[in-house]
Amino acid sequence: MSRPAILGLAGAIGILAVLGPVFGAAPSRATDGQPLRCCYTNQRYAGVCKVQPAQDETCASILAYLNDPRSQGKTYCGNTTTRGGWQQVECKPSPSSAPDRPTGGR
């Protein structure tokens, strides 16, 4: 393979690595084998909303749903009707001994 072809291939791989999450790449599993969890906060919502994405969902698609004022029909975050102002945050273990109970979207 010629040098320009190698550079082009490397550039394409780099672009995909950067844009994959932006365009809703499929969620990956956590390194410890646990399912991926997405966490969100909103000033009008008490606490942290934890969601375990379904097979066809990503953290980005869930965030878009929560921030879309027209969205309805899913039960994220205790079936909240709060739309707009959501931010994705790092999921942290609960300080209590009880396990987290992520909410689903269906």
Q: Render 32-99 in DSSP notation, one character per residue.
A: TSPPP-EEEE-TTSSS-EEE---TT--HHHHHHHHH-TT--S--HHHH----S--EEE-----SSSSP
In a domain, 41, yes or no: yes
State the pLDDT at residue 28: 41
pLDDT for position 102? 57
Domain count, the chain: 1
- 105 in a domain, yes or no? no
Q: Is residue 97 part of a domain?
A: no
Q: Report which residue type is found at 79.
A: N
Instruction: Count other Cβ atoms within 10 Å, centred on residue 6.
Output: 10
pLDDT bracket for residue 35 (50, 70, 90): confident
Residue type, 42: N
- Give the count of beta carbons closer than 10 Å to the beta carbon of residue 60: 17
What share of the chain in percent tops pLDDT 90? 52
Q: Is 34 within the bounds of a domain?
A: yes
| Separation between Cα atoms, residue 72 and residue 83, nearest integer Å | 10
Q: Note whether residue 95 is domain-resident.
A: no
Q: Which domain holds residue 72?
A: 3-89
Spatial distance between the Cα atoms of 85 and 3, rounded to a whole number of angstroms: 47
